[in-house]
Structures are given as structure tokens and as C-alpha cells.
Amino acid sequence: MSIAIKRVLVIANRAKEPAERITEEICRELQQRGVTVEVFAFCGKPVDPEIDHYDLAISLGGDGTVLYASRLVCRHQIPILPVNLGDFGFITEVAQNEWLQAFERYCSGKIEAGRRLLIHVEVERDADSIASFVGLNDVVVSAAGISKIVKLNVELAESSLGGYRADGMIVATPTGSTAYSAAAGGPILHPEMEAMILNPICPFTLSHRPIVLPPNEVVRIHVEQNQRTSVMMTVDGQSELTLEPGDVITVRRAAHSAFIIRSDRRSFYEVLRSKLNWSGGPDA
């Protein structure tokens, strides 16, 4: 089934050298086809623009640009075509010289936008909500200092997992399973699975292990009293908040999903094999 594309939002990371050239190419090509194109270009930390109705968003940059784009457009359920302007990322599977082919194949219904689970993160302090975030990759609670252990207590919806003494705690989505969580020894999940990963970072108790949770689980992380260091929280490595003892971080599935257009030139497993340098031979 063909998909009519009338309005496109280009989200371009100007820190990437080819961004301006590819943006001009996209605008020229799509406008010739009668498509209205609006461009939001940024360098550094962006200030969120007002989002209207668009049929498609094209992300120009790397995985970090897609993370930002997903949070920006998720409430409007706008699919994202992720175009990579550097090395292939785990999310950005479309090369810069493949964007038009991917666009045409999406419009003709030959490739689809896969649904990705997002997490909603809320921070409570003295029983009041002080901040909330949406993430495509993960939320990380960790020490703000170097090589400091933090004390956290973790509860699920129906039970307590008890106290953790660790460098921190990651709650990751399947999309984020190839990011910090993988570096911390967590499992890699297919990005379109529906699940969450609870992964302690270098736990002091060696019996603590990563846990894969069902998608509707609710994780509550309590920052215990008497910390030896300051504690901070980051979402997708892009939004951060300094925490205080007694704060409670609640992580659950977000109300909306992200929709990321797949490449039919390479699969997730091919990207995984390439990025992680799996040779499949005796030296693997």
C-alpha cells in the first residue's frame, strides 16, 4: 500500500559536515515532487521547535540525532527516516546516498517503519513530581563523581529487588540495549521487541545480574540517604538532572512509541556484526 507524503520535517545536525549539502538535496528533490519541506537545523544542544503535523521526519546525523528526533516527534506519531552522516549507527541504518531510495521505497510500501518502545521517566522529591522525560535508549542513575559507589533501592510493581551498591543503574529499552547497557554487560535485544532491561553498573555484589523485564513493568529507583557522592540521572545521554537523597525515579513504558523506518539494504544483525566486529571465524 502506497503512503502519501505531503509534508516533511528535516531535523539536521549541523555539527555533521555533510548536513547542509544533504539538506539542500532533500529540499530540492522533494519540492520538485510537490512535497512541502521544513528544516530544523541545530548545532550543539537544540531548543525544541513547535511541532505541527508532518507525514514524515528525516533525521540527518547519527544515532544521537535520532534519539533527539524521536523525543521531539513521538507525541505526533511521526515516522522517522534516519539518515546517517558518519559511520553506521545501530539506529541510523540508511547511508546518505541511500536516502532517496529509502524514501521512495517507504512511500511505495516496500519498507516499513518499525515500532520502538519509549520509556517515560518521572522524578519525585518529597512526594512532588519535579521532572519528567521521555527516552528511546535508556535512563541512567549514577554517581556524579569518579569511581564512587551509589546506594539505590529498586522496586518493581509487585515486589522489591532490594538494595544495590553499584556505580549506578541502567533501565534500557531494546533500542538502547546496544548502547551503555551493552557496555555494562547487558543483553542485546532486537530493537523492535517490547521489553525493558534493568542493568546494575559494576555492582558491588557479584550476584546482581541484568534482568529483562516485560514492557508493562514499572521500575522505581529510590536514592538512599547517606550517599558518599552526588548522584545524577541522564536520559538518552542528552537530558540530565542532579538527584538528592530520598528522590524516587519511576520508569515505565511511555504512552507513545517511536516509529523508525527500516533499511532494506542491511539488517539489524548485519549492522550488529559490523559494529561489534564479529568475524564468525576462529578469531571471533
Q: What is the CATH number of the domain that holds 199?
A: 2.60.200.30
Q: Are residues 128 and 236 in the same domain?
A: yes
Work out the pLDDT band at 197, boundaries 50, 70, 90.
very high
Q: Give which of 64, 219, 208 is closest to 141, Cα–Cα.
A: 219
Q: How many domains does the chain have?
A: 2
Buried (b) or exposed (e) across 248-258, using 16+ Cβ within 10 A? bbbbbbbeebb
Residue 281 lies in a domain: no
pLDDT for 236 beyond 80:
yes
**Coil vs helix vs strand at 22:** helix
Query: Is residue 196 within 8 Å of residue 217, measured between CB atoms?
Result: yes
And the C-alpha cell for 17? 559536515
CA-based nearest residue to 10, from 60, 50, 68: 60
pLDDT digits (tens, 9 = 90+) for 8-64: 999 999 999 899 999 999 999 999 999 999 999 999 888 899 888 999 999 999 999
Give yes or no: residues 107 and 221 share one domain: no
* 126 and 245 part of one domain: yes
Q: Which of 63, 138, 167, 247 is catalytic?
A: 63
Residue given cell 539538506 in the structure block:
23
- pLDDT value at 99 more than 70: yes
Q: Catalytic annotation on 63?
A: yes
Structural domain that includes position 148 = 118-255
Q: Is residue 282 part of a domain?
A: no
Domain co-membership, 213 together with 100: no
Q: Is residue 271 part of a domain?
A: yes
Mean pLDDT of 157-167: 93
